[in-house]
Amino acid sequence: MSFRNPVKVLLLSILSGFILLSSAFGWEESQDIAYRLKWLANTSTVGDLYADARGMFAENGLKVLVKPGGPERDAIKELELGRAQFGVASADQIIRALSKGAKIYVLAQIFQVNPLQWIYRPDKSPLDKPADLKGKIVGITYGGIDENIMKALLSKYRISESDLTLYSVRYDFTPFYQRKVDLWPIYRNAQGPIIGNKIRDAGEKIDYFDPDAHGIHTVANSVITSEEVLNHHPQMAARFMSALIKGWELSMDPVNAEKAVQTIRQFDRDTDEDIIREQLALTRQFVKPRKDVPFGRIDVPAWKQTEEMMVAQKLILRPIGIDKYLKQAK
Amino acid sequence: MLHKRIYQFLIVYAVGLSVLFLVKYGLNLSDYVIPPPKEVWITGQKYWLEYLREVLDTLSVAVFGHILSILLAAVVAVIGRLTNWVGSFIKMGAYNIQSYPIVAVAPIIFILFGDGIAARLLITVMICYFPLLLSFIGIFSEPVYHIEHFYTATHRLTWGLSLRIRVFENIAKLVTVISGSATVAMVGTIVAEFIAADDGIGYRIRIALYQSDLSKILTALFLIGICTSLYLLSLEYIGLRIRKRPGISAGSFS
């Protein structure tokens, strides 16, 4: 075959492009269900992993591919592009997407209390009340939910941003280790035992500043699906959610703690079992803070507060009426 | 009149944007996944000046990092061409450093240099110098027999003289390699800002990514493209002036 003819080359290129695009956008038929997590497989995803590894999806007649997430992987986009049928996203991501016309629904809220807190050294930076933040150097991820939470807290307690120094944080904790920053945002259940233990091992005291304890109730990881799945495959969605809730219930039951630890170890071989045990105990407090709270309950007031916070900070132009998009899975 | 480098970039950008909008409307995707043209336009109008300052900040670091990369690659290549143990050790060290992913090395860089300009420069140099090094090693190690044999025969060929001959005879190649690596310097700086800075367009792109704001990213990409094209243009102009100097176009050292 000759490639000298430029028209032929162009046509071939266009054809190859279409083939690549069609596979990239998942136009091919697939029987599998893809479930995109928000973050890497770790203790924060224990229920999802448990449902997968212990056969709960299979028991409900589903073949589910659980895909780890990451900073550049957005479950909402994957739902729209048809690469996933279910996913996990945080409330701010979901509200932002809905404000831009995404057709998605929330089926369950995994974390009843947002595990995002700030780690600090109480001897260096005593912190009893929000007003004590004045004069401190506080780490925030610009553009991240922790920025919104901190700004909402400052606004609630009438603390001006000029009363403290906001420090832009990244993945690396070095500035906190080096004491350049007083408070550093951290996921209490997943990162707390690792970072906290490291600092304690160095002979330093640590504590956590919890915005939830000061009235900033925001929503973290929640399970979402697309309008298309909910309208056209409601039975499949119900079976998926039933298996997922069961996975979370069983993995959070202290009786199954060792099974849960071993399940996490299958996917996360880099974290010590003792750390995972500690993470698991902490995760339980955020997923099921009280006995009367059912797994996956959607905390409507917390969603509304998150939405109000985003409107106040001009992250969305106008309220979207978030309750319309909350479809509690039975 | 726009220089061809600029309008070539504009064509590529326009084609890329059109494909994106084609996918958006073809697949009926929401504005969250791909923003509509109007939103991109409004965001561009709102942020272009702010982002231009950031791009220029990035470009200044990229230019400085590029110069450092050229110097570093030249030094390593000169030492690396030595056949003794030191030469091979330096070369091996340079290759090994290149094989480490920057994100894994970043914590060490933070400890040593903090997260300011020094870290940005170092990461830029680490990303940019390697392609230069490979070319420099190739050029510096390749004897120009038709000239060098005269000096070899008269026992007057020193390593400095042979290096000068090889640089002089390959000046066109060197200019092409150096101007080509400008884009790598820019990319290196953006990566550095993405992981290790509070300034520059890479840092702003990181924030926009957190906010899933593709309009801001598209605005940033447009400005990065324009500024990089202008930088390339300047380098090509300098290269042209060097090649037009008497004697060089003839490629004659003798």
Q: Is position B14 within any domain?
A: no
Q: Residue A101 in contact with residue A70, Cβ under 8 Å?
A: no
Q: Establish if A100 touches chain B: CB-CB under 8 angstroms.
A: yes
CA B183 to chain centre: 4
Token pair belonging to A269: 């071989």
Q: How far is A266 from chain B (nearest CA, A)?
A: 24
CATH for A66? 3.40.190.10
CA A278 to chain centre: 19
One domain, residues A127 and A107: no
One domain, residues A313 and A189: no
CA A153 to chain centre: 20
- Specify which residues A224 forms β-bridges with: A87, A106
Residue B197 structural domain: 40-243
Q: Is position A268 within any domain?
A: yes
- Yes or no, beta carbons of A80 and B211 under 8 Å apart: no
Q: Is position A13 within any domain?
A: no
Q: Is position A259 within any domain?
A: yes
- Give the count of Cβ contacts less than 8 A between chain A and B: 65
Q: Is position B17 within any domain?
A: no
pLDDT of residue A31: 56
One domain, residues A228 and A318: yes
Residues in chain B: 254
Could you say which of A170, A186, A214 is where a domain stops?
A: A214
Q: How far is B23 from chain A (nearest CA, A)?
A: 9
One domain, residues A224 and A288: yes
List chain B residues with CB under 8 Å of A224.
none
Which residue is closest to A146 within chain B, CA to CA? B210
Q: Is position B9 within any domain?
A: no
Q: Is position A57 within any domain?
A: yes
- Specify which residues A186 forms β-bridges with: A117
Q: Establish if A28 touches chain B: CB-CB under 8 angstroms.
A: no
CATH for B229? 1.10.3720.10
Q: Is position B183 within any domain?
A: yes
Q: Is position B111 within any domain?
A: yes
Numbered residues of chain B with Cβ closer than 8 Å to any chain A Cβ: 23, 27, 29-33, 35, 103, 106-107, 110-111, 115, 195-196, 198, 203, 206-212
One domain, residues A209 and A232: no
Q: Residue B33 in contact with residue B21, Cβ under 8 Å?
A: no
Q: How far is A138 from chain B (nearest CA, A)?
A: 15
Q: What does the pLDDT look like over A79-112, one tens digit per residue?
A: 999 999 999 999 999 999 999 999 999 999 999 9
- Yes or no, beta carbons of A175 and B115 under 8 Å apart: yes
- Yes or no, beta carbons of A102 and B207 under 8 Å apart: no
One domain, residues A107 and A223: yes
Residue A185 structural domain: 116-214
Question: From CA A110, how far away is CA B128, in angstroms rounded?
Answer: 44
Q: Is position A23 within any domain?
A: no
- Yes or no, beta carbons of A142 and B210 under 8 Å apart: yes
Q: What does the pLDDT look like over A212-256, one tens digit per residue?
A: 999 998 898 999 999 999 999 999 999 999 999 999 999 999 999
One domain, residues A242 and A186: no
Token pair belonging to A140: 């925030």
What does the pLDDT profile of chain B (254 residues) look like in tens digits?
567 888 889 999 999 999 999 999 999 999 999 999 999 999 999 999 999 999 999 999 999 999 999 999 888 888 877 667 777 777 777 778 778 888 788 778 877 887 778 888 998 998 888 889 888 888 888 888 888 888 888 888 888 888 888 888 888 888 888 888 999 999 999 988 888 777 899 989 988 887 788 999 999 999 999 999 999 889 888 888 887 776 655 444 44
pLDDT of residue A19: 55
List chain B residues with CB under 8 Å of A175.
110, 115
CB atoms within 10 A of CB B141: 12
List chain A residues with CB under 8 Å of B209.
71-72, 143
One domain, residues A43 and A183: no
- Yes or no, beta carbons of B35 and A100 under 8 Å apart: yes
In order of A86, A119, A189, A268, the CA distances from A182 in angstroms are 38, 8, 20, 30
List chain B residues with CB under 8 Å of A97.
30, 32, 212
Q: Is position B7 within any domain?
A: no
One domain, residues A142 and A160: yes
Q: Is position B120 within any domain?
A: yes
- Yes or no, beta carbons of B210 and A141 under 8 Å apart: yes
One domain, residues A108 and A120: no
Q: Is position A330 within any domain?
A: no
One domain, residues A79 and A37: yes
Q: What does the pLDDT look like over A49-85, one tens digit per residue?
A: 999 999 999 999 999 999 998 777 889 999 999 999 9
Q: Is position A26 within any domain?
A: no
Could you say which of A214, A236, A270 is where a domain stops?
A: A214
Q: How far is B126 from chain A (nearest CA, A)?
A: 19
Quote the number of domains for chain A: 2
One domain, residues A294 and A161: no
Q: Residue B231 in contact with residue B63, Cβ under 8 Å?
A: yes
Question: From CA B104, how far away is CA B101, in angstroms rounded?
Answer: 6
CA atoms within 13 A on the CB side of A329: 27
Of A138, A135, A152, nearest to A92 (Cα)? Answer: A152
Of A21, A80, A178, nearest to B29 by CB-CB distance is A80
Q: Is position A281 within any domain?
A: yes
Which residue is closest to B29 within chain A, CA to CA? A80
Q: Is position B20 within any domain?
A: no
**Chain A contact probe: residue of B20, B30, B102, B103 with most A CBs at under 10 A:** B30
Quote the number of domains for chain B: 1
Place of tokens 């979901």: A94
